[in-house]
């Protein structure tokens, strides 16, 4: 596929009127062609206006066509072939195997949402039939469904150039809900974004949909990003990135004449709690646990939103052995290329600050990688009292760095957990003998995280129906939602009730004939699609 270096606005390649930007290979710091022209705020309105124009037809698309459209996007992405993997590797420094897995996740979640559209329960149809003879007052016929919010602004994530980018989870769930998408490409991987954007545009064209269903825009992150969120045509925002950028978008959205929701996934330390029982048993058990932890910390150079930035280990001989094993394991690790020179610089600043904090020591460190921007992984150590007292120790370092916190009692563990901010995950390493000790921690963690894991590691987020990838602030801006899994579609829907409307005016999902074959809740009772509407 030919890279144009331009935004894709309502099906057309549009040259920006602003400055230009290039992708950069972080392993060499070499510039990648082509130059990408950046649009101005005036040009942005073309994309948002087209999205608003596309909403009436796209939001009411028949389920079969709607689902087939999502499947077609997945097919088109796969049809790009190795060109996509090569370009993404050049722009991010991520290895081919990781990117191939990410491509599979991207297409898999598109097809998963296609199945959600076909099944139709997300439409939330509820029907309370009229009760004209009810006393003392009759009841009107009231019907409810979930409708799409409207055009959605989606921001590409730096660390997932496919699965959280152009056709990633936010885009897939918004399109599945029936919302047109204006996608703000991440300037760190512009070519990857355009290749996938072309695949989406082709599906829009092939299905004869309004071209405003999808636009991809390139522009300065601060100005165009803020303008996109402020645009009155935009009705919701999906974002994955830094806490500072997410909060800036939230403030802009809240200050609008019509405030809109921002679903931002931001920072998380993903604490791991190790109990005494997990350190007993075979002689190599501690070494295995340490190796698993270090692998979770250093995978993808630590640039995962679920990378464990904290590990709580008990004081005493077993905990000492675990800390020593962690130091040995990390000392054998070489740095991997980080996504950008700027991200690598932030990692250096963060580790310097953590290493110089009172009560913190360097437990172990690997070696620098051979490529550019590949700093040596580092793991630090401290005690609970210092962790509780110093908020600096609660700040995320994006990259291969983590902090081992030693605790002396269950009360100290509960105190540390209570002081933590909101997180995406918390993991418990334990055996059956630890259940009584761990039991008081679970209700505390329920108030702090979106996913609790036992004898596993937080990296590797399954895309399915039960997954929650969210959590209390600052992990996300709205703890009621998830950005991964089929429940993500709910972010872009709202309920509407229809009272006493004649059949001819009711939307198709609410009509008695149930032409879309939906499961519905009638007078409070679930009625499968195969049943008669009034039964």
- What positions carry a catalytic annotation? 265, 305
**CA separation (Å) from 335 to 87, 194, 258, 297, 400?**
22, 29, 46, 12, 8
Q: Report the candidate in 9, 370, 338 with the shortest Cα–Cα distance to residue 188.
A: 338
- First-residue to last-residue Cα distance in the chain: 54
Residue 202: C-alpha distances to residues 113, 156, 220, 459 (Å): 19, 20, 26, 33
Q: How many CB atoms within 10 Å of residue 15?
A: 13
DSSP 136: S
Pairing state of beta strands 401-407 and 378-383?
parallel
Q: Of 255, 211, 523, which is closest to residue 533 (Cα–Cα)? A: 523
What angle is formed at CA 239 by the lines to CA 233 and CA 244, rounded to 5 degrees? 110
Q: Give the Cα separation of 447 and 473 in Å (integer).
A: 11
- Rg of the Cα atoms in the chain: 25
Decide if 392 contacts 354 (C-beta within 8 A).
Answer: yes
Q: How far apart are CA 440 and CA 431, in angstroms?
A: 15
CB atoms within 10 A of CB 178: 25
Q: Do the beta carbons of residue 374 and residue 368 sit within 8 Å?
A: yes
Distance, CA of 377 to CA of 311 (rounded, Å): 15
Say what angle helices 41-58 and 221-230 make with each other, to 10 degrees. Answer: 40
The CB-side HSE value for 396 (13 A sphere, CA atoms) comes to: 27
438 and 428 Cβ atoms separated by less than 8 Å: yes
């Amino acid at each position: 596929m030919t890279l144009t270096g331009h935004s894709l606005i309502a099906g057309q390649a549009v040259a920006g009127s602003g400055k230009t930007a290039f992708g950069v290979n972080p392993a060499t710091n070499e510039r990648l062609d082509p130059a990408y022209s950046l649009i101005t705020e005036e040009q942005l309105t073309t994309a948002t206006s087209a999205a608003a124009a596309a909403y009436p037809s796209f939001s009411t698309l028949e389920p079969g066509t709607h689902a087939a459209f999502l499947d077609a996007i997945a097919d088109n992405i796969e049809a790009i072939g190795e060109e996509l993997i090569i370009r993404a590797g050049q722009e991010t420094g991520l290895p081919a195997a990781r990117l191939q897995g990410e491509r599979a996740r991207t297409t898999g979640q598109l097809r998963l949402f296609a199945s959600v559209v076909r099944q139709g329960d997300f439409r939330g149809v509820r029907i309370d039939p009229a009760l004209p003879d009810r006393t003392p007052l009759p009841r009107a016929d009231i019907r409810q469904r979930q409708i799409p919010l409207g055009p959605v602004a989606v921001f590409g994530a730096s660390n997932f150039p496919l699965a959280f980018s152009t056709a990633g989870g936010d885009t897939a769930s918004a399109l599945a809900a029936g919302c047109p998408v204006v996608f703000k490409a991440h300037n760190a991987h512009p070519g990857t974004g355009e290749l996938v954007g072309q695949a989406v545009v082709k599906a829009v064209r092939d299905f004869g949909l309004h071209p405003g269903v999808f636009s991809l825009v390139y522009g300065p992150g601060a100005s165009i990003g803020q303008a996109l969120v402020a645009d009155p045509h935009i009705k919701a925002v999906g974002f994955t990135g830094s806490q500072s950028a997410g909060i800036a978008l939230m403030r802009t959205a809240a200050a609008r004449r019509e405030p809109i929701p921002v679903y931002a996934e931001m920072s998380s330390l993903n604490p791991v709690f190790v109990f005494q029982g997990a350190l007993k048993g075979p002689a190599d058990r501690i070494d295995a646990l340490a190796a698993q932890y270090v692998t979770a910390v250093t995978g993808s150079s630590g640039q995962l939103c679920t990378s464990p930035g904290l590990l709580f280990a008990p004081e005493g001989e077993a905990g000492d052995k675990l800390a020593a094993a962690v130091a040995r394991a990390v000392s054998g690790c070489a740095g991997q290329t980080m996504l950008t020179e700027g991200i690598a610089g932030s990692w250096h600043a963060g580790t310097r600050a953590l290493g110089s904090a009172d009560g913190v020591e360097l437990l172990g460190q690997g070696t620098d990688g051979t490529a550019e921007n590949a700093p040596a992984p580092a793991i630090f150590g401290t005690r609970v009292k210092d962790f509780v007292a110093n908020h600096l120790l609660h700040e995320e370092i994006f990259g291969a760095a983590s902090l081992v916190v030693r605790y002396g009692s269950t009360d100290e563990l509960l105190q540390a957990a209570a002081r933590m901010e909101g997180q995406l995950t918390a993991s418990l390493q334990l055996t059956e003998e630890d259940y009584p000790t761990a039991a008081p921690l679970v209700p505390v963690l329920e108030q702090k995280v979106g996913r609790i894991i036992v004898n596993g590691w937080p990296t590797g987020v399954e895309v399915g129906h039960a997954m929650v990838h969210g959590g209390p602030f600052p992990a996300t801006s709205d703890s009621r939602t998830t950005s991964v899994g089929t429940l993500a579609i709910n972010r872009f829907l709202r309920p509407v009730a229809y009272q006493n409307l004649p059949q001819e005016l009711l939307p198709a999902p609410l009509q008695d004939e149930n032409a879309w074959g939906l499961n519905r809740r009638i007078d409070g009772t679930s009625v499968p699609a195969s049943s008669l509407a009034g039964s």
